[in-house]
Amino acid sequence: MSLEPARIEDSLKFGDDFELDCGRFELTRNGRPIPVERKPMELLILLAERNGQLLTRAEIVERLWQRDVFVDTEHGINTAIRKIRHTLRDDAEEPRFVETVTGKGYRFVAPVVVQGGEDGETTRSDPDAGLPETRTAVAEPTQISPEAAPSESGNQARWRWLAWAIPGLLLAAVAVGLAAHFSIHRHEVREANIRSLAVLLLDNLSGDPSQEYFADGMTDELITELARIPGLRVVSRTSVMQDKGARKPLARIAQELGVDAIVEGSVVRSGDRVRITAQLIDARSDKHLWAQSFEGPLGDILSLQDSVAREISLQTSAVLTPAAKAEFANARHVNPDAYDAYLRGLYFIQRRDGDPAASYFRKAIALDPEYAAANAGLAEALVTQLLVKGPLAIDVMPSAIAAAKRAIELDPNSGEAYTALGAIDTNYLLDWSAAERNLRQGIELSPSSSDAETWFAVYLTSVGRPAEAVDAMRRAVALDPLSFWANRLLGSMLYYSRRYDESLIALQRAYELAPDKPGFVEGWNSDNYEMQGRYSDAFAADMKGAYSPADIKSFRAAFEIGGWKGYQEARVKYLLPRSMNPCHMHYLAMSYVRLGKIDEAFRWFNRDVDNYCGMTVFDLSADPRLDKIRADPRFTALLHRVNLPH
């Protein structure tokens, strides 16, 4: 018997335990609601109604996307199908529910039982039977009248869904003062006890690839907001980026990142309006816990972001601090053009490109001088310039300090601003007490900030507390497990802590994450081998740096003739003509230490401090190779120059 068109009151049963209520726009499994986003739900209803028939991609676009003309429909269909399969625990290779018809569309292949809403009539469909074309359960605006709208008490979920189909009709969200706040489904799961999560990159559904920065920036902002919540570990963006476009199963992503839950969703920008859709999935049980959409003018984007973060905190049972509650409740309006410039700045910050990042943050500040996050971003961009350009960027540090302090003045709860200020204290001002104070404040305000923990580890190493630095870097790696730099720095801190075998293991992990960056790893491997007396291994590792074949040949000849000392002598000859590069001064001084030429070593260490390269300051208190000169009065004087305990 063929399936008759499903009425809006009908309920469709399929599989062993799924029931799809067309009227209430609700999917349940064994009687328990499963949150599903709007488009996947609409497509699932359409597929189930057309049970057994081919549903072409063109039909899907015509039926489901005709009003959302700004959406990339190809991407939207692919995303909706993926989410349907994930919800139904279906397999694209061996489908039980949704079959792909290559180059054409999709077919729902499971038997469907239709239960009538009023007369209780039940009809069973056969996927192999010929089926008439049926309509989707999405009602057209002309079919809805105020009198026909269901009451909140009778069909609350249905009313929320139907509101989406009426252009211009918005449900007020009084709590946050948004233009709109549409709830698709909510399922309270406080018993889930979620303590860690990762926010996957939001899908860009704008239909414009040039808007990727907007979706990526929104992801960054959501991670930043969630990172403020104590007791909830939120994985940093760097690790999440590793899975961009990878289409891995969510359970595998969660396992690799070491988290209990996953947040995924999408963002759509159309003119001066934006819609954020997010859902929370318990990766341990593959259970959809919550899904919700938020829409409003771009100027209220901070409120939208805070609403998403607040709802996720409720679903994970995270306890908000009074400061976080106040911030979520008092999100300010932001100039839309300033916000756009801010997201563009974030795009370049993530790529460690400080110059364009600083330019966009300055533009955001010019458009909205009260924008705290833009000031914090500017401070971070200028610190990035210092790290990349070294002494050439010293002149930007006063501006960085001013931007960080302005951000704190505008938002005393900005962990990012305190972290940037602590980084400046550590790398430029050498104000160690201020560095510890500001970095601890940054961690307290943003307990899931990998950057804050990393800078704290750099500070701890600089002041001679390497064991504590290792602990800080382990926390940073837990927050950013797939980050090459976090794992590389953990290896560095373990070296300073004189745990050489552990350091080599951490450095190997870093290399596995980024095999294209051997030069950033092998130098530290060489240091470990040197301290273990494995000079052949140390030399071999050093030769994997950025040397020309001719230089490597010369170094190898020196090592074969004179061993480790012969290599260091050849290295001095190589570095001296290049000593105008400030950061070569430190390496030149270290070779002189190895050769026992202490006068020359101190001369170059002092020149390095004069030029603000930073490596000498980083090494002084903890590098084991300097143990042989620590009793020298000139070493005490050097510590005094950089304000370190002596």
Residue 240: per-residue pLDDT: 77
Is pLDDT larger for residue 266 or for residue 328? 266
For the chain, the average pLDDT equals 80
Residue 160: per-residue pLDDT: 30
Residue 134, pLDDT above cutoff 80: no
Residue 611: pLDDT band (50, 70, 90) is confident
CATH for 281: 3.40.50.10610
**Dihedral pair phi/psi, residue 643, rounded to 5°:** 65, 25
pLDDT in tens, 527-569: 999 999 999 999 999 999 878 999 999 999 999 999 999 999 9
To the question of pTM greater than 0.75 for the whole model, the response is no
Residue 17: per-residue pLDDT: 84
Contact 404, 422 (CB under 8 A): no
Per the structure, the complete domain to which residue 123 belongs is given by: 11-132
Residue 179, pLDDT above cutoff 60: no
515: in domain: no
Residue 398: per-residue pLDDT: 94
Rama region for 219: left / alpha / beta (φ>0; ψ in -120 to 50; rest): alpha
Among residues 310, 329, 348, which one ends one of the domains?
329
Residue 247: per-residue pLDDT: 62
401: in domain: no
% of residues, the chain, pLDDT over 90: 38
Contact 192, 42 (CB under 8 A): no
Among residues 309, 329, 349, which one ends one of the domains?
329
Residue 1: per-residue pLDDT: 31
Residue 65, pLDDT above cutoff 70: no
Residue 629: per-residue pLDDT: 96
> Helix crossing, 354-367 with 336-349: angle to 10°?
160
Structural domains counted in the chain? 3
Residue 146, pLDDT above cutoff 50: no
- Are 16 and 113 in the same domain? yes
- Are 174 and 126 in the same domain? no
Residue 168: per-residue pLDDT: 29
Residue 639: pLDDT band (50, 70, 90) is very high
Tell me the mean pLDDT in the region 377-392.
85
CATH for 109: 1.10.10.10
529: in domain: no
Residue 176: per-residue pLDDT: 33
- Are 95 and 175 in the same domain? no
- Are 555 and 645 in the same domain? yes
578: in domain: yes
Is pLDDT larger for residue 637 or for residue 131? 637
Residue 633: pLDDT band (50, 70, 90) is very high
- Are 75 and 179 in the same domain? no
Tell me the mean pLDDT in the region 353-377.
94
Residue 323: per-residue pLDDT: 57
- Are 568 and 623 in the same domain? yes
Question: Could you tell me the CA-to-CA distances from 634 to 136, 219, 312, 519, 521 in Å, in that order?
Answer: 82, 50, 56, 32, 31
Return d(Cα 306, Cα 576) in angstroms, integer: 55
- Are 182 and 315 in the same domain? yes
- Are 124 and 200 in the same domain? no
Return d(Cα 22, Cα 137) in angstroms, integer: 6
Q: What ranges in 497-610 are assigned the alpha helix state H?
A: 500-513, 519-531, 535-542, 549-575, 584-595, 598-610
DSSP conformation class of 173: B
285: in domain: yes
569: in domain: yes
Buried b (16+ CB within 10 A) or exposed e, 8-21: bbbbbbbeeebbbb
pLDDT in tens, 584-600: 889 999 999 999 999 99
Residue 273: per-residue pLDDT: 84
Residue 104: per-residue pLDDT: 81
Residue 111, pLDDT above cutoff 50: yes
378: in domain: no
Residue 556: per-residue pLDDT: 97
Is pLDDT larger for residue 280 or for residue 570? 570
- Are 103 and 47 in the same domain? yes
- Are 127 and 174 in the same domain? no
Tell me the mean pLDDT in the region 94-120.
79
- Are 34 and 180 in the same domain? no
Return d(Cα 250, Cα 237) in angstroms, integer: 16
- Are 198 and 80 in the same domain? no
510: in domain: no
Residue 75: pLDDT band (50, 70, 90) is low
Question: Could you tell me the CA-to-CA distances from 169 to 143, 163, 270 in Å, in that order?
Answer: 15, 6, 16
Is pLDDT larger for residue 121 or for residue 350? 350
Among residues 132, 161, 179, which one ends one of the domains?
132
Q: Which stretch of 297-306, 406-415, 427-436, 613-622 has the lowest confidence by average pLDDT?
A: 297-306
